[in-house]
Amino acid sequence: MPILDELSGFEFEDVMEDVFRNLGYTNVRQAAKTADEGRDILMDERVNGTTRGVVVECKHTGTVGRPVVQKLHSAVATYDFDGPKRGIVVTTGTFTGPATEYAQRLRDNGDPYPIELIDGKGMRSIAEEVGLDLYNGRIEILCDETLRPTDPTSGTDGPVREAFRDIENLDQTKLSTPTTHATFEPVVLVTATVDAVFETSVGVIHRIDERMQFVVRAARTQPRILDSAVASLVSENRGQTVRIEGLDLAADFDDHEVQRFGKTETEYKQWAVDRLKQHHATTVSYTGDNNVDYHKECVPNHSDISVQSIEAVYLPDIHQTTTIQEYSYPYAYYAAGPSRVTHEDGIHECVQCGDADAATFTFCSNCGSINCESHIKTERLEQEPVCTGCAVTDRFALRRKYFYSEANRDAFADEYAAMPPHEKARENVPAAIAAVVGTVGVLALLLVQTGLL
């Protein structure tokens, strides 16, 4: 049967490891290849509340005979597992009559170690369920599950309105509805264990026994591990997903895009294994039996790493833009219902200098800008905030004054011209005080020089 023809035997085992994981088996891992015991893949399954061990023999051949089935039966019997056990022989080809009869006889006789046979036809049935491309062995990731892109209690606009809440001088009731674009980014949640022991003539010098979980961006670019905050958002909400096809995306968003998974599950598994090998690689120093110091590079083997699961899910990346007068404010976050991780905040950023760490931000209703403390002033005529970017300025009483417009400046100029001297002095109190102090000082000096003081 012309399926998976270009794969080697070991590559076929890699594919089947992913297939069984997708079928719901747990603790799926390849057996050590140091000895041929008729065990290629080991895994567990739950049957009526009981965990059963499963031993798999993979045969990438045209025909499988009775000896292979008998050998697997013995391998299952000697497999060190505390509980019921069974075996599976999976092949891309067919089984001979004697092989089929032997497996049937085990079942008919109630043998404690039954053997299931999966041939090329059975593979076709599996392919439809897990997305396996029968002609190249690739398991395409099929996923319709996404973290919730919106919080039902606050609506699509809720996060943006919450972000604007602490902007001073801003009337939220006058905010326009933001434009919203949703991108459903593919990610995979990888769970793996590393169990490696490194020995020399002096005994064990290094041991790794660790279970790891990380989230990988799975778009068409190179795989990349997400930062801890986004990874936590995915892992903590993985059990509360919804189906994309069940969402009314057109009603919630002005535009949306569902990206494709960039690689196959097999490729992500291999990438994870390679990364874990690199992550755990270390050089260990030890003293030999001859009291000589040695250095050994300890790198886990492929068989030391078991990828327990690769869970695919979509991560909503929500981009919202709110336009106020002549300014547009972007706000972007990864969403999981009421939870989110913000990755772009153009609201809390001064439009004049780009400062995003200011203690307070103030809205200028004259032009629609948001500003830090250094770029917001008080408008002289109306006593309201105005930014340095749009304000019209002029000097009165040797001090710079800020106005919404030239009309306001001219109106104040008329007022200023009509002010008595003492009121003009109030426009620059520090300067007036300095002038008085200076005058008193000059008078005191003259009095001293004339002998009157």
Whether residue 188 is found in the same domain as residue 114: no
Residue type at 177 in one-letter notation: T
3-class state of residue 280 by DSSP: helix
What's the domain range around 270?
182-316
Whether residue 196 is found in the same domain as residue 304: yes
439 secondary structure, DSSP code: H
Residue 423 maps to a domain? no
Domain end marker among 276, 291, 316: 316
Q: What is the CATH number of the domain that holds 88?
A: 3.40.1350.10
Domain end marker among 66, 95, 130: 130
Q: How many CB atoms lie within 10 A of CB 288?
A: 11
Q: Quick one: tokens of 114? A: 């039954």
The CA-to-CA distance between both ends of the chain, in Å, stands at 121
For residues 317 and 149, the answer to whether their CB atoms sit within 8 Å is no
Q: Report the residue count for the chain.
A: 453
For residues 212 and 194, the answer to whether their CB atoms sit within 8 Å is yes
The enclosing H or E element of 178 equals none
Whether residue 86 is found in the same domain as residue 190: no
Whether residue 297 is found in the same domain as residue 189: yes
Residues 6 or more apart whose Cβ sits within 8 Å of residue 406: 392
What pLDDT, on a 0 to 100 scale, did the predictor assign at position 63? 87
What pLDDT, on a 0 to 100 scale, did the predictor assign at position 391? 97
Total number of domains in the chain: 2
Distance CA 194, CA 280 (A): 9
Whether residue 94 is found in the same domain as residue 200: no
What pLDDT, on a 0 to 100 scale, did the predictor assign at position 102? 97
Residues 6 or more apart whose Cβ sits within 8 Å of residue 92: 1, 3, 4, 12, 59, 60, 61, 120, 123
What pLDDT, on a 0 to 100 scale, did the predictor assign at position 444? 62
Q: Which candidate, 271, 338, 299, 320, places its Cα nearest to that of 197?
A: 299
Whether residue 115 is found in the same domain as residue 18: yes
Q: Quickly tell me which residue has 């404010």 as its tokens.
A: 329
What pLDDT, on a 0 to 100 scale, did the predictor assign at position 445? 66
For residues 224 and 186, the answer to whether their CB atoms sit within 8 Å is no
Whether residue 203 is found in the same domain as residue 104: no
What pLDDT, on a 0 to 100 scale, did the predictor assign at position 277? 95
Q: What share of the chain is helix, strand, coil (3-state, %, to 5)?
A: 30, 35, 35
- Mean pLDDT of successive 10-residue stretches along the chain, which has 453 residues: 62 85 88 66 93 93 91 94 95 90 96 94 78 62 89 91 96 92 96 93 93 92 92 94 92 93 85 94 93 94 87 96 96 96 97 96 97 96 96 92 96 93 77 55 64 60
What pLDDT, on a 0 to 100 scale, did the predictor assign at position 265? 80
pTM of the model: 0.69
Whether residue 302 is found in the same domain as residue 226: yes
What pLDDT, on a 0 to 100 scale, did the predictor assign at position 436? 52
Whether residue 119 is found in the same domain as residue 219: no
